[in-house]
Amino acid sequence: MNGRRSDRHTFTKRAAIFTLIEFVLGLVVLARLAYLQIFQAERYKLLSDNNRIVSKCILPSRGRILDARGNHLAKNEFSYSAVFDLLAIKPTERAEGITALLKYRDFDQSVVDKLKNLPRIVNNENRFILLQEDLDWTTLSGYSILTSKVPGLTIEKYQRRRYLFPEILSHVIGYTGAPTKSDIEKFDNAALSVPTAKIGKTGIEKRYEEQLFGHAGTKHIEVDSRRRFVREIDNLSPAAGEDLTLTIDLALQRKVAELVSQHESATCVVMDVHTGAILAFVSHPGYDANLFMQRVKSSELKALYDNPYKPMINKLIHGLYSPGSAFKMMTGLAALKKGVITKHTRFTCRGVYELGRQKFHCWRWKCGGHGSVNLQEALAGSCDVFFYNLARLLSPDEIAATARDFGLGEPAGIDLPNEKSGLIPTKSWKKKHKKQSWTTGDTFNMAIGQGFVLTTPLQLVKMVAILTNGLKPIPPHLVERKTTDDPTPLKYDPEHIQVILDGMYDVVNAPYGTAWNAGLDDFEFCGKTGSSQVFRITERLRREGKTVSDDYWKKEHAIFVGYAPADAPRVAIAVLVEHGGSGAHTAAPLARDVLLAAKTTLGF
């Protein structure tokens, strides 16, 4: 009896213990549930949303580019691209998706390499692989069918850039391309990670990238367990980039491009002398900027870079040339400023100047020279011997100081990237870079724009503008400005400037001027011819009569700088024809035709 009572007591005690344990466990579970549902609700809702809701960046519409009269030069068009999104599929399914892609479609080798060499860690910066862009309707339909078979494959609608005058403005506008990793870091812009994002690579597109790009928007979409689109939840619209209005006059640009294209390689720039506005800017040959709006074939790139006339180089700001006789205005002005000559000073040219054992020839050496000439006549007839005499009276640093005042030896300041500085040498420059002392012969060469002197065509047009606008060193520009600077004029004697301008007038309008044959009776313009040597003419070659080569690549560069109209300058011009020979016979007539077109287009 007592045994039964004892067993019953033990059972009851154990039952109570188990009940207590169950009660405690129940409390723990309830507490945990309460903690998760009340205190951690937001966290788990966020995790759930992160799995269910996808945030997508919306690229803004890139700003348009227009000419001075409102004509479209660069705009945007809707197109479609095929993209493989690595974060849209599970890591374990990526290999299967890639295999399916390669089975159904043929891709460029660069795309295949990316698909076969995925990043070890996938994040928002490297999640997208751009398979193909600017899809035609047939290709688009094929990809659309594949999206149901290949997880991660999506079709993206985007705006592609279109250039309406791709070749004649290629060195002005430039082109856009896919951003590099350094681009993304530089601009600190997450939108650049979008596979169809483009960034300015050259020209105006690069210089004004931040204004043109705009601000990206965001949309949130709901996806299912296989990350397929369900619905759009919300949408923050992007802000379009700014439209840019250029100073370029399209009608004049087209005419200049037509005239310049008659030569294998040539440049021409026309600038408003008072504002610095660039009205025409042609570096020929150019390239088709639209070619870079999608993946470029290696064979096409090779053809561009192997072209001997260098279409990818903007020769107006990247081409460095000896200015030849177009530099003589600087030497003459330096001599007037120093006071070693007046406008009446005369030197006699007999075709050659002997400096010790060296002979420095004038271009009229075969004819016995120019005779007795003053500065105005020496500029008009381009007498080298006159300037050799000035070289005996000037130091290279004095010539250099004047040249720098007029914008040579430093970037002209145009709103394009990577403009070159050129070179205006000095004694210290030669000592530092050549490890040699300066010689009198160096000054002789410098005085006529040869030797170490290097300039860009744009620097030369700025030089002419300063000479004609009241000595104001205005920087050239391509984008219209709301306000214009009024720089402090250079301190040069106006009478000295007038001597230089009179010489430039006679170059074209006096019978003894080198460009007399390019002049017109009913339209007066002024300028200076130049011929930039590309190889040294030795005494032996002179004796053999081989001062002019039949080899295209050994011919001089033909140069003309000038302005119009003669009585009230409105525009300055610089023309350079690579290996064109004489500036008088090649560059001057081309400049005349351009100035006539400018007169008609601009109305002066």
Q: What would the pLDDT profile of 562-583 be if each residue is shown by its tens digit?
A: 999 999 999 999 999 999 999 9
Within 10 Å of residue 554's Cβ, how many Cβ atoms? 13
Q: Which two tokens stand for residue 380?
A: 């008009």
pLDDT, tens only, 383-439 = 999 999 999 999 999 999 999 999 999 999 999 999 999 999 999 999 999 999 999
d(CA 401, CA 491): 13
Q: Span 454-476, mean pLDDT?
A: 97
User: What is the structure's pLDDT at 53?
Assistant: 73
Q: Which CATH class is domain 250-288+312-602?
A: alpha beta
Q: How high is the pLDDT of residue 297? A: 82
Nearest to 440 by CA among 354, 379, 508: 354
Give the per-residue pLDDT at 106: 85
The stretch 346-375 carries a mean pLDDT of 92
Q: Residue 470 pLDDT > 70, yes or no?
A: yes
Going by pLDDT thresholds of 50, 70 and 90, the confidence category of residue 207 is very high
Reading phi first (left if > 0) and then psi (alpha if -120 to 50, else beta), residue 586 is in alpha
* Sign of the torsion formed by the C-alpha atoms of 533, 536, 539 and 541: negative
Give the mean model confidence (pLDDT) for residues 484-500: 93
Residue-level pLDDT at 27: 75
Domain(s) of CATH 3.90.1310.10: residues in the chain: 54-245
- Per-residue model confidence (pLDDT) at position 87: 82
Give the rounded percent of residues in the chain with a pLDDT score beyond 90: 63
What is the token pair recorded at 349? 């040219």
pLDDT in tens, 187-196: 878 788 888 8
The percent of residues in the chain predicted with pLDDT above 70, rounded, is: 89
Looking at residue 156, its pLDDT comes to 87
CATH fold group of domain 54-245? Penicillin-binding protein 2a (Domain 2) (3.90.1310)
Angle (nearest 5°) at CA 458 between 167 and 571:
95
Per the DSSP assignment, residues forming a β-bridge with 557 are 532
* C-alpha–C-alpha distance, residues 172 and 185, integer Å: 26
Q: pLDDT tens across 253-296, in order? A: 999 999 999 999 999 999 999 999 999 999 999 999 999 988 88
Residue closest to 62 by CA, chosen among 220, 188, 179, 235: 179
> Is the peptide bond between 285 and the residue preceding it cis, with omega within 30 degrees of 0?
yes
Q: What is the DSSP letter of 490?
A: P
- pLDDT > 70? residue 181: yes
First to last CA, the chain: 134
How confident is the model at residue 461, as a pLDDT?
A: 98
Between 481 and 509, the higher pLDDT residue: 509
The reported pLDDT for the residue numbered 47 is 43
Q: Is the pLDDT of residue 62 over 90?
A: yes
Give span(s): CATH 3.40.710.10, the chain.
Answer: 250-288+312-602
**Residue found by looking up tokens 């009179």 in the block:** 502
The one-character DSSP state at 583 is I
**What mean pLDDT is predicted for residues 134-141?**
90
More confident residue, 175 or 537: 175
pLDDT of residue 540: 60
Angstrom CA distances, 61 to 194, 213, 219, stand at 14, 7, 16
- 28 or 451, which is more confident: 451
Looking at residue 3, its pLDDT comes to: 54
CA 553, CA 539: separation in Å to the nearest integer? 21
519-539 per-position pLDDT tens digit: 998 999 999 999 987 766 555
Question: Burial level of 236, CB count in 10 A (0-12/13-18/19+)?
Answer: exposed
Average pLDDT, the chain: 89
pLDDT for 18-61, tens place per residue?
677 777 777 777 766 666 566 655 554 544 555 567 677 888 99
**Which of 108 and 26 is assigned the larger pLDDT?**
108
Which pLDDT belongs to residue 405? 98
